[in-house]
Amino acid sequence: MSEIDTKMEVMEAVRNSWDHYGIPHDLPPSEMHNLLDILAETVRNYGSQPAVTSLGGTLTYAELDRQSSAFASYLQQHTGLKHGDRIAIQMPSLIQYLVVTYGAFKAGMVIVNVNPMYTATELEYQFNHADVKAVVVFDKFLDHTLAVKDKTPLQTVISTSPFDLHSPLKRVVMSVLMKLLGKASSSAGSISLLEALKKGSEQPHQEVALDGDDLAVLQYTGGTTGVSKPAMLSHSNMVSVTRQSAMVLESCSIDRGVERFVSPLPLYHIYAFAVVITVGVHLGVHSQLIPDPRNIKAFVKLLRQWPASVFIGLNTLFVALMKDPDFGRIDFSTLKFTISGGSALATGTSNDWFDKTGCQISEAYGLTEASPVVSLTPSPGGKQGAVGIALPGTEIRIADDDGNPLAVNEHGELWVRGPQVMQGYLHFPEETAKTVTADGWLKTGDIASVDEDGFLRIHDRMKDMIIVSGFNVYPNEIEGVVSRHPDVTYCAAVGVPDEHSGEAVKLYVVSANPGLTEKDIRDFCAEQLARYKLPKYVEFRDELPLSNVGKVLRRELRDN
């Protein structure tokens, strides 16, 4: 079969999937060229409706528009910042995150999302590398930021407290309560966000011209190779992926201006950033943010009080929620869509969620370099083990080691081409060249396949693949089997050196049953896995290292 024929076979399956679900093959022309166009359209249509809620405080779309304009005015009139400068956001998921983001865009600036719990060393690296001139930081972490100010390009430090944009009475009450509890933080060495908004509201901001190629976000990622580096995501990238995602969601009966999204993942992660700040705003939804999703008790209590129609999560979060004894008391009658992304979804987790909520989990797949969505399941459930179909306007290639396209159901590296593919990595030209080809293909580093119905399956990361006596072993497959054991909470498989087979499988298991043994696990695996895939080593742990969004960090397990 020729290269062209093979490529067409995969893309033919993808195009057929679009036709099956009534999804256009390409993005139609649009008057929206930057993210401000998206906000402006939603404000016109849904200005009086709630946009975002966190800790009991809510902003309507009109209030978001007004407050973000005030913040833009402050940046323009009261700082030395200019169009194109970088401003970092270093806070958990609070309603002011959206105000700062859209305010920065209105001032023509570039957002750098920063984990608020970063150490001074990590902050110093990111601020210097991205040339960050300003930061809006959660006051609890202000000391870390001020400690590196003189070692970085930082000129402006703005601090914010949890209840800044709540009613004046609530701010006073919570301030007194925080002081009594010994949790109050100082804003010394910074200007408060409230003061910045007050100053900015005294005069209108100056509108800026934003081209599609202008940078919108610098998002740091481990990437497909090497150290943490910032993907350059343009306004065109973000507008495209927003419109692409919305087209698929609307085919699933997600309605504009009426949905209630629950988003427990941190907004400084590109997955939640896109769902809430771009796609959510475009659809005019009401997003409920969860600043501390690890507080499962409080999270479940909120879910009982705030019926959601769309829930965004990932495997470890679903597992933790379902373990809470009050989870069964939540009314899920309004829930019509659950999205899982960011890490592999275990079959057992998917089945349990459906049993308890009546809503199937729809998997999505993406990576920061794709702004970040590549595929999405177009109807609740889709195919178990698949991560949906490609977004409209997205080309998919399954490539062999030489980059040649493979056929449907063959395994190879996933390559992606479309309007959502990043401009490159800032200050990493060699890494950019390794990751994005001259003709625009993004090499994801993921081993994948596309089936005859156009559904994409991710088998594993290339760097995580274990080679046992010459056979390829995918950790996701092993973890998927082991996670179905009734006594396994979650697990992780990694490769370790072995003098006989080159590598061997080591399995880490978290279980609430102290009586579970290595033999139990091996016997369970032996019923469902080929002999060369069986774990040679099994280690029980109380917990596994997780990323800030709940991914198991296999690399950390391997290194230790």
Q: Which CATH class, in words, describes the domain spanning 57-210?
A: alpha beta
Both structure tokens of 401: 């080691």
- Other CB atoms within 10 A of residue 330 CB: 21
Q: Describe the crossing of helices 347-357 and 315-323 by its angle, rounded to 10 degrees.
A: 50
3-state SS of the chain: helix, strand, coil percent to 5?
Answer: 35, 25, 40
* 3-class DSSP state of 473: strand
> Tell me, what amino acid is at 350?
S
Q: Which of 73-87, 192-206, 249-263, 457-471 is predicted with the least confidence, judged by mean pLDDT?
A: 457-471
In the numeric block, the tokens 């002999």 are attached to: 531
Query: Which residue ranges make up each domain of the chain?
Result: 3-31+225-461, 57-210, 465-559
Q: What is the pLDDT of residue 122?
A: 86
Nearest Cα to Cα of residue 110 among 418, 427, 426:
426
Q: What is the pLDDT of residue 223?
A: 55
pLDDT band at 6 (very low <50, low <70, confident <90, very high): very low
* 3-class DSSP state of 184: coil
Q: Cα 61 vs. chain centroid, distance in angstroms?
A: 23
- Can you tell me the distance from the alpha carbon of 39 to that of 362, in angstroms, rounded to the nearest whole number? 27
- Can you tell me the distance from the alpha carbon of 111 to that of 267, in angstroms, rounded to the nearest whole number? 12
The per-residue pLDDT for range 534-560, each reduced to its tens digit, is 999 999 999 999 887 788 889 899 887
Is residue 372 reached through a cis peptide bond, with omega within 30 degrees of 0 on the bond before it?
yes
Enter the CATH code of domain 3-31+225-461: 3.40.50.12780
Global pTM reads 0.88
The DSSP H or E segment spanning 360 is none
- Can you tell me the distance from the alpha carbon of 493 to that of 535, in angstroms, rounded to the nearest whole number? 8
pLDDT band at 4 (very low <50, low <70, confident <90, very high): very low
* 3-class DSSP state of 379: coil
Q: Cα 334 vs. chain centroid, distance in angstroms?
A: 24
In the numeric block, the tokens 């004046």 are attached to: 168
The per-residue pLDDT for range 178-213, each reduced to its tens digit, is 666 666 676 788 999 999 999 999 999 999 999 999
The per-residue pLDDT for range 356-393, each reduced to its tens digit, is 999 999 999 999 999 999 999 987 768 988 999 999 99
- Can you tell me the distance from the alpha carbon of 433 to that of 443, in angstroms, rounded to the nearest whole number? 10
Cα four-point dihedral sign 43, 203, 94, 304: negative
> Tell me, what amino acid is at 371?
S
* 3-class DSSP state of 267: coil
Mean pLDDT computed over 133-159: 96
- Other CB atoms within 10 A of residue 475 CB: 25
The per-residue pLDDT for range 327-340, each reduced to its tens digit, is 999 999 999 999 99
Whole-number mean pLDDT of the chain? 92
Contact by Cβ (8 Å): 145, 167: no
pLDDT band at 472 (very low <50, low <70, confident <90, very high): confident
> Tell me, what amino acid is at 481?
V
What fold characterizes domain 465-559?
GMP Synthetase; Chain A, domain 3 (3.30.300)
Question: What is the secondary structure of 431-468 as a DSSP string?
Answer: HHHHHB-TTS-EEEEEEEEE-TTS-EEEEEEGGG-EEE
Let me know if the fold of 3-31+225-461 is the same as that of 465-559. Answer: no
